[in-house]
Structure 1
């Protein structure tokens, strides 16, 4: 059985789409998923980047594309009332619900649906309180322990070569984005064609730098 580390941030519509699509994309294969909530903003800071929603034309394109992808794949999606929003409370809640190191699929699904279904404000205090009561975390999501756990998880992801969400790591290889799901399946199936693709960067010399 293959192990997949799934790095996600609830702020990302692509992470939501990948979360919903994953069981269908890997149907028939034997695998186990470990879900890792991480702070996408921390990865952007590490690499000196802005998020897609912080660049006006890219923001518009992102929302159009995820609406299209959701419809094309039959995944319910309604944009939250405002985006981007601060996802820290949701990420910490997920970690506070983790009983064996990582939150389970039910916890992640519940939080993703909180954000990406219904069109309400993801960071509304009343909704967050109701979500916390529903999930009944084993630990205090606002504690220093949980805050440190999120920081550590984000740094561990960066150390593993993860630079964005959603990302999947299998056999030490990082697969980034919703559109990487077919490549992830190929990895689990040990498709030799993927080895050829993986070797491609080594054959390309570094060109001009800005």
Structure 2
């Protein structure tokens, strides 16, 4: 195959926080959504709470009524998509230890990224088994497993509580906000942002060169004026 006929390589950034069940579902369904395409996916953990704070929002699990609906819907979506998913023992929780564990595995070449394997371990730690995601014994076991994984591959490991790892997370959060990320999961490709599990078909259509993306339809909503704005 010549360079002229080689399939186009799509570079996709997958912004996530393991606290989000929708991010977990999107992660599990992503390979099917991208099947047959030439892609490079960069998994970048980000503090969801910081995105919410920057935009003056509450998370779904912080709003009565919406919290219960969110859990019902993700359980239904999981069985619809054939994804193993259990609610953790408590939710929401503080995801910082998990985010830092993930970024402790990042390399100097890609200091803000986690491999698909590491990302999978973070999600399954939370969303399989129905256990406490913040239990010290479980976090210690996860850390030991990730450290062994890195050692077996001859890759460096930073202790998750070091300033360097904390800085990686801060830089990821800043980069996500600069890219317009307001929630997770968010997938960014070619400057376009796709939000949520239900955006995967739309992402695929974009990558397939769907005709809609060649029109003004993508940019038009950004020019739509607001007739009224509520004050908090």
TM over 0.5, shorter chain: yes
Q: TM-score range by the shorter chain?
A: over 0.9
Contact 1:14/1:178, CA 8 A, preserved across alignment = yes
Contact 1:170/1:187, CA 8 A, preserved across alignment = no
Aligned to 1:23: 31
Aligned to 2:114: 103
Aligned to 1:166: 185
Instruction: Specify every segment of 5 or more residues in structure 2 that has no aligned partner in the other structure, as ranges.
Output: 1-8, 151-156
Contact 1:183/1:194, CA 8 A, preserved across alignment = no
Aligned length: 210
Distance 1:124 1:195 in 2: 49
Deviation at 1:14, TM superposition (A): 0.2
SS of residue paired to 2:15 = strand
- State the TM-score, normalized to the length of structure 2: 0.88
Aligned to 1:194: 213
Distance 1:146 1:204 in 2: 40
Distance 1:205 1:141 in 2: 45
Structure 2 residue 69 is the aligned partner of structure 1 residue 61 = yes
Distance 2:79 2:214 in 1: 32
Deviation at 1:203, TM superposition (A): 5.0
Q: Which is helix-richer, 1 or 2?
A: 1
Deviation at 1:96, TM superposition (A): 0.4
Deviation at 1:199, TM superposition (A): 2.8
Structure 2 residue 59 is the aligned partner of structure 1 residue 51 = yes
Q: CA RMSD in A?
A: 1.1
Instruction: Specify every segment of 5 or more residues in structure 1 that has no aligned partner in the other structure, as ranges.
Output: none
Tell me which of 112, 116, 137 is aligned to 2:123.
112
Aligned to 2:158: 139
